[in-house]
Amino acid sequence: MIVIILGPQGSGKGTQGKKLAEFFGVPFVSAGELLREEAALGSELGRRIHEIINVQGELVPPEVITDLLDARRMKDDAKQGMIIDSYPRDLQQLELMRKRFTPDVVVVLNLSDDEAIKRLGGRRQCPDGHIYHLVFNPPKREGVCDVDGKQLLVRDDDREEAIRNRLGWHRGKTEPMIGAMEQSGVRVVHVDASAGIDDVQNAVRKIVGI
């Protein structure tokens, strides 16, 4: 089972994708997290990725993220499938994906830019990727991850200017790519992501369970 979750930054892809992966017992694979992990290694590729994500605020080249995802798909724990967050993000990535796999379903989380900005301004994450919100999903102890006790941080790219830039690519590059996917016969289901976390999760589970 391969499920892809797409949507603007802040729509809840990570929040929903992690819960869904736990529910179905398959790994959650976020394109952004794969890139941040590679960047943290400090390799030559990692330094290039860090520069693109955090300094230029752009998408990394399609071959880079496709290669990282290829390697992740080959791991044993992905044999039964996986939940992929944020790949493909544009038409070039869609072409590369088509040569590799077909998702069972693509879930698109729809949210307005204003709501996304409100959410991202309060996002806090632990180094292992557990996601919180200062108001909508606070940790039990301020600044500390409920799961592993690590300190919660603001992501380097959660600055208003960088957020607006990323929302711009979603509208300009990812939405046309989603249209192309739909036209090619892939099952694409749109979900209103403005509801609370549990309501959105229930809607997504219904779609994926069918």
Q: Which does 59 bind (CB under 5 to 8 A by kind): ligand ADP, ligand AMP, none?
A: ligand AMP
Contacts of 169 (CB under 8 A, 6+ apart): 59, 89, 90
Told to check if 119 binds ligand ADP by CB under 6 A, we report: yes
What is the distance between the alpha carbons of residues 155 and 106, in angstroms, rounded to a whole number?
26
- Give the per-residue contact string, 25-54, with ligand AMP (x = CB under 6 A; - = no): -----xxx--x-----------------x-
What is the distance between the alpha carbons of residues 19 and 201, in angstroms, rounded to a whole number?
8
In the chain, the amino acid numbered 202 is: N
Question: Is 13 in a helix, a strand, or coil?
Answer: helix
Closest distance between ligand AMP and the C-beta of residue 210, in Å? 26
Residues 119-138 within binding reach of ligand AMP (CB under 6 A):
none
45 or 173: CB nearest ligand ADP: 173
Reduced 3-state DSSP string for 115-127 = HHHHHHHCEEECC
Q: Which does 89 bind (CB under 5 to 8 A by kind): ligand AMP, ligand ADP, none?
A: ligand AMP
Pairing of strands 2-6, 82-85: parallel
CA distances to 16, 58, 113, 121, 175 from 171, in Å: 21, 14, 10, 20, 5
Distance of CA 48 to the CA centre of its chain: 20
Among 51, 141, 196, 202, binds ligand ADP (CB under 6 A): 196
Told to check if 92 binds ligand ADP by CB under 6 A, we report: no
Closest distance between ligand ADP and the C-beta of residue 167, in Å? 10
Told to check if 7 binds ligand AMP by CB under 6 A, we report: no
Q: Which does 69 bind (CB under 5 to 8 A by kind): ligand AMP, ligand ADP, none?
A: none
Q: Which residues bind ligand AMP (CB under 6 A)?
A: 9, 30-32, 35, 53, 59-60, 65, 86-87, 89, 93, 157, 166
